[in-house]
Amino acid sequence: MARLSGVTIPLFSVRTRADWGIGQITDLPAAADFFLRAGQRLVQVLPAHELADGETSPYGALSAFALDPIYITVEATPEADAELVARALGDEGRAELERVRRSPTVDYAGVRALKRRVLREAFTCFRERELANDTARARELFAFVEREGAWLRDHALYAALRASHAGYGWSTWPAHERDRAPAVLELASAPRDDGGLGTQVLEEMYLQWLAHEQWRTARAELKRAGVSLMGDMPFIVGGESADVWAHRDQFQTDVSLGAPPDDFSADGQSWGLPAYLWPAMDADDLAWLRARAAHSAELFDRFRIDHVVGFFRQWVKEEGPGASGRGRFDPPEEHEQRARGEKVLRAMLEAAGPRSVIAEDLGVIPPFVRETMSRLELPGYKVLPWERDDNAVPRDPRAFPELSVSTWSTHDTLPITQWWYELADWERERLAKLDGIPLDLPEGERELALLRLLFSSRSELTLVLAQEILGDKARINLPGTVTAENWTWRLTRPIEDLLEDPAVVARLEAVKRLAVASSR
């Protein structure tokens, strides 16, 4: 891995003059070009998998594979010409589009309703022009279905059934649908335009085809520009997801996944998520996890595995009547945990390819986890404010292992542009001392000095939040809370407008000089 620096920006946060109130797949090249001006040769996005109505967290998706249609660019959809868009939106829809475009934060419900309205009309057009006449474009859709069918058929059927039940999850459906009766599965195994549920299944397949084709094109553009694309793979999916519905025997749905007790939570955390049932997953050689890793490798040049410690030991609590409420590790013994983690990570690396996987190893991590990561040459994370010795002295990033990722912050913390002010005086003094940074520097100069310290890290990869490059202080997410602010941050202005601001351009150039000087 060559030394380089990259920017972390959720896809929903990217903003252009032509977007529909949220970042879009075809905006990725514009974002890459923008941050390349700051010397950032990698763009990391958060998960972009399909969310349920009312959900905003990218870690609460309905699927481990399906991209969210909310990110589809309408104007890049062949069926959605200007006439169709105008007809589908009408005057009221056009006014709503302008409102969500101007919104300082992402209005998921508003954006989703607008795109759903137009894309449904686009699919109707596709049915009439392409499916009815068995055109080359129709055959391309069915080729995609065959190629991605291992996950796509289940997801499309699940999404269609969920929509037919007003958005309620599979555990509430009639028994024949809940338990995947053969007649139900036939709707996806041989998809057909029957004017009913079969047509809805085809529509879901069409949306995934559009999203994946736009993603493939965008990634190719990034590659031509010399910019890598990095993703983020959540540890697990929700219990009401398409994956748990389709592979129910491989998950523990009678427990809640969480985190063990620590200084912040005496009883530990319960996340309301299912857990892996390892004996069942072992029966097919971890096929579902291998498929996830392979699919991530198709979407990204490299990707981060979230909560990697969970693949060594899951913290679970029994749920339901009569449950003790006590938590336990699964598997319980250290030798079992070591073996479990190594087996899972080796399987993912085999599926994704070498040097494509990064592990999020933050928090309370047993030593054997990092020992395994080192043996497998799997980089972990170094968050500078948290990297301290036993005397609370900050570790010098120039002494970090090369096989690591250094960053000032993550999507779950404040950016250093604001976090700096939340640190205690002694913490700021000790961090500044690492690089001789005067504490009385003006804000903008200090922020650049902190980036210089980060770029000096021995880590092969450094990651910077988009806010830190631009001097923004906004937070992406506050863990443990559900608020209107979480997961809704957008760039303050469209990229085109930012590039017309001399102060922004000057800051980008200053950051680039720092990156180049550090050989990134």
Query: What residues contact 67, with CB distance under 8 A and at least 6 apart?
Result: 25, 48, 49, 50, 208, 211, 212, 215
**Rounded CA gap, 152 and 169, in Å?**
18
Is the preceding peptide bond at 331 cis, omega within 30 degrees of 0? yes
Query: Is residue 318 very low, low, confident or very high in pLDDT (cuts 50, 70, 90)?
Result: confident
pLDDT at position 268 is 79
**Rounded CA gap, 383 and 204, in Å?**
40
**Rounded CA gap, 341 and 372, in Å?**
8
Residue with tokens 């170094």: 382
- CA 205, chain centre distance (Å): 21
Query: Is residue 264 very low, low, confident or very high in pLDDT (cuts 50, 70, 90)?
Result: low
Q: What is the mean pLDDT of the chain?
A: 96
DSSP 8-state secondary structure symbol assigned to residue 395: P
pLDDT at position 249 is 96
Report yes or no: 203 and 123 within 8 Å, Cβ to Cβ. yes
- The SS3 call for residue 62 is coil
pLDDT surpassing 80 at residue 266 = no
Residue 224 CA: distances (Å) to CA of 39, 190, 297, 461 = 16, 38, 18, 20
Q: CB-side exposure of 161: number of CA atoms within 13 Å?
A: 29
**Rounded CA gap, 35 and 511, in Å?**
10
pLDDT surpassing 80 at residue 325 = no
Number of Cβ atoms within 10 Å of the Cβ of 426: 9
Q: What tokens were used for 502?
A: 């001399």
pTM of the model: 0.96
- Kindly state the helix (H) or strand (E) to which residue 155 belongs, with its residue range: helix 136-164
Number of Cβ atoms within 10 Å of the Cβ of 324: 8
Cβ density class 480-518: b for 16+ within 10 Å, e for less: eeeeeeebbbbbebbbeebbeeeebeebbebbbebbeeb
In this predicted model, what pLDDT tens digit does every residue of 349-396 receive, in sequence order?
A: 999 998 899 999 998 899 999 999 999 999 999 999 999 999 999 999
In this predicted model, what pLDDT tens digit does every residue of 461-492 receive, in sequence order?
A: 999 999 999 999 999 999 888 899 999 999 99
Nearest-CA neighbor of 488 among 32, 46, 29?
Answer: 46
**Helices 334-352, 367-375: crossing angle, 10 deg rounding:** 30
Q: Give the start-to-end residue ranges of the domains of the chain.
A: 247-301+309-362
**Helices 197-224, 28-36: crossing angle, 10 deg rounding:** 20
Radius of gyration of the chain (CA): 24
